[in-house]
Amino acid sequence: MHADVEEGCVLPDLAAAREHALEGARDLVCTDIKRGWLNLDHYVEVLDDRRQTVLTLTFRDAFEIRSD
């Protein structure tokens, strides 16, 4: 699992937090691919100001897998 990538980012709502998490997950996946491996079960977790989880986004959720 990756360590915390960004802490303390304030966003206006859950939709913005989801978009930010998607971007982060995609960046992390690109880093993993450059290292020669990929685990789509890794995830990005979004916490609120009380440090309660409000969203968990797996790397698998951040992509549409195609075989065409």
Please report, for the chain, the start and end positions of each structural domain, with discontinuous segments joined by +: 14-62
- Residue 47 and residue 53 in contact, taking contact as beta carbons nearer than 8 Å: yes
Residue 8 to residue 51: CA distance in whole angstroms: 10
Query: What pLDDT shows up at residue 33?
Result: 93
Mean of the pLDDT values across residues 30-48? 93
Burial status of residue 58 (CB atoms within 10 A of its CB: 0-12, 13-18, 19 or more):
middle
What beta strand segments (E) does the chain contain?
43-47, 53-58
Q: Which two tokens stand for residue 43?
A: 């995830």
Query: What pLDDT shows up at residue 1?
Result: 46
Q: What is the mean pLDDT of the chain?
A: 88
For residue 27, give the amino acid letter: D
